[in-house]
Amino acid sequence: MTIYTLLLYVGIAAAILTLLTGFVFKAQKSWLMTYVQHFCGSLFIFSGFVKAVDPLGTAFKMEQYFAEFFYTFDETKMKFIAPMFPWLSGHSVLFSNVMIVFEVALGMMLILAYRPKLTSWLFFGLVAFFTVLTGYTYLTGYVPSGVNFFEFSKWGAYVKTNMRVTDCGCFGDFLKLKPKVSFMKDVFLLFPAIYFLLKNKDMHQLFTARVRGALVLLVAVGFSVFCYYNTYLNEPVIDFRPFRAGVDVRAQREKEAAEENEAYKILAYKMKSKSSGQVVTVPYEQYMKEYEKYPEAEWEMEQVKANPDYEHSKISEFEITAPDGSNMTDALLQDSGYFLMVVAYKLMESGKEVKTTMVNDTTFVVDTVRMDGVDSFQLVQRVESVAPKEVKEEIVNFDPEYMDRFTKIINPVINAARGTGVKFFAATAPNDPSVINRFKELTGSNYPFFTADDLLLKTIQRSNPGIVLWKDGKILAKWHYKNMPSFEEMKAQYIDLPQ
């Protein structure tokens, strides 16, 4: 689906609601105002809903923004603002849930016209906020690497890879918008926002004030519970991510690799004469035969590619690395049979402590000794002194509740799978091997721990930890640690092992 298709559907829904408002409830004062109310309200409710099924996805996107804002402001005279962004990042899950509920409730307020003046100002404020956010995302494409956003004199030509955040997450994983499209969408919404401010007296109002308030409250409470469930109790009830159950990751990865090769295939060369300014386009095959006619000193050359704006999904970035640095991706995807993949995108630490131990520090000296009766020397090492020495070692501790998720929930499933023919491993974010080994030792996780990019792991699974069941490179099912079945239950429903 494209943004234009989505807006068409929203427009149709708004038209139906407008007709009901006018001919059934007979509440309209202005047909235009009523339609705009329903259009913007429906758009906000839908946008909030597709994020409410996966609030953690929005929280992760917020973390990206907060990190970029920190580095942006920390290098300016407004650096006093920077410290608040790490704090905001630490509460991103809360802000995500609040923002989603607010967006849906505001959509309902628009449709009902609950307190028109207040609703108009809230809508304007939220749209203005989104416009700044998406504008920042898009405009960073003009900011070269190493240049601060506020150094406007150093901005250059637009380069897609310069963007600090690649998409705004306006519609979650349901619909990925290019930053420019997302920014223009919010600029467009500023017009109805201003219209509401100027003409809110023309807004239709459905039902009585008490019923309107009750409906808005009911929607807010209902979506709060819905968001809580999808954040803390289960994987998203509707999965829009590329790694959803049923996806053949192996086949899709191969398909995207082939499409990418085709997309960046050079079709021709666009040549511009440095002397006359003449521009000619030469097909690739012809250029390879006649390239001597276009010396670099006389011609500027630009490649013409099949689809330079080609974008792949996160599946193309799927990469698993073993502790020794070897790439395990193809081995895992090409191997036949069942895999249980424990996803732990962050090993939750509770702090660090310094462990002090005393060791004997031995000092050696080397003496040169002449051998009797022989015209030669021998080097002899002897102990000069032995003194106690204090050695300090930094030890990482882990959150006890987080370790319980492994010892009481994850590991019993893995241990039950031993000897059945089902293979298993864990994937976590890159970390010092000593930290991972200590975690394995403390939790009794006696199975391989591989590493992968934390954003990739968060895309695969929102639960930390959780389990993904694979077969022949295809995802069969995913489980949140709070809804983890036993291995026997997994086997009964998904795993068909030879007798």
Tell me how far apart the alpha carbons of residues 206 and 208 are, in angstroms, rounded to a whole number. Answer: 7
Domain ranges of the chain: 3-233, 266-305, 316-348+399-493, 356-394
CB 321 within 8 A of CB 347: no
Tell me how far apart the alpha carbons of residues 140 and 305 are, in angstroms, rounded to a whole number. Answer: 24
Mention every residue, 6+ apart, whose C-beta is less than 8 A from residue 227: 52, 55, 97, 100, 101
Quickly tell me which residue has 């202005």 as its tokens: 30
Beta bridge partners of 194: none
Tell me how far apart the alpha carbons of residues 231 and 96 are, in angstroms, rounded to a whole number. Answer: 10
DSSP codes of every residue in 24-72: IS---S-HHHHHHHHHHHHHHHHHHHHHHT-HHHHHHHHHHHHHHHHHH
DSSP summary character for residue 438 = H
Q: φ and ψ at 464, to 5 degrees?
A: -130, 100
Token pair in block for residue 228:
């809580």
What Rg, from alpha-carbon coordinates, does the chain have?
30
C-beta neighbour count of 187 within 10 angstroms: 13
Q: How far apart are the first and last CA of the chain?
A: 45
Name the percent of the chain lying above pLDDT 90.
66
Tell me how far apart the alpha carbons of residues 474 and 245 are, in angstroms, rounded to a whole number. Answer: 8
In which region does residue 337 sit, left (phi positive, over 0), alpha (psi from -120 to 50) or beta (all else)?
left
Q: Which run of H or of E encompasses 90?
A: helix 84-90
Token pair in block for residue 63:
């973390």
Q: Please state the CATH superfamily assignment of the domain spanning residues 316-348+399-493 in this structure.
A: Glutaredoxin (3.40.30.10)
Give 357-413 pLDDT, tens digit per residue. 666 777 777 666 666 665 666 666 777 777 777 767 778 999 999 999 999 999 999
The reported pLDDT for the residue numbered 408 is: 97
Tell me how far apart the alpha carbons of residues 284 and 288 are, in angstroms, rounded to a whole number. Answer: 6
CB 319 within 8 A of CB 452: yes
List the chain pLDDT tens, one digit each, 499 residues.
889 999 999 999 999 999 999 999 999 899 999 999 999 999 999 999 999 999 999 999 999 889 989 988 988 888 899 999 999 999 999 999 999 999 999 999 999 999 999 999 999 999 999 999 899 989 999 999 889 999 999 999 888 888 888 777 889 899 988 888 999 999 999 999 999 999 999 999 999 999 999 999 999 999 999 999 999 999 999 999 999 999 999 999 999 989 888 888 888 999 888 888 888 898 989 988 888 888 888 888 888 888 877 778 899 999 999 999 999 998 889 988 999 999 999 999 988 877 766 667 777 776 666 666 656 666 667 777 777 777 677 789 999 999 999 999 999 999 999 999 999 999 999 999 999 999 999 999 999 999 999 999 999 999 999 999 999 999 999 999 999 999 999 999 999 987 6
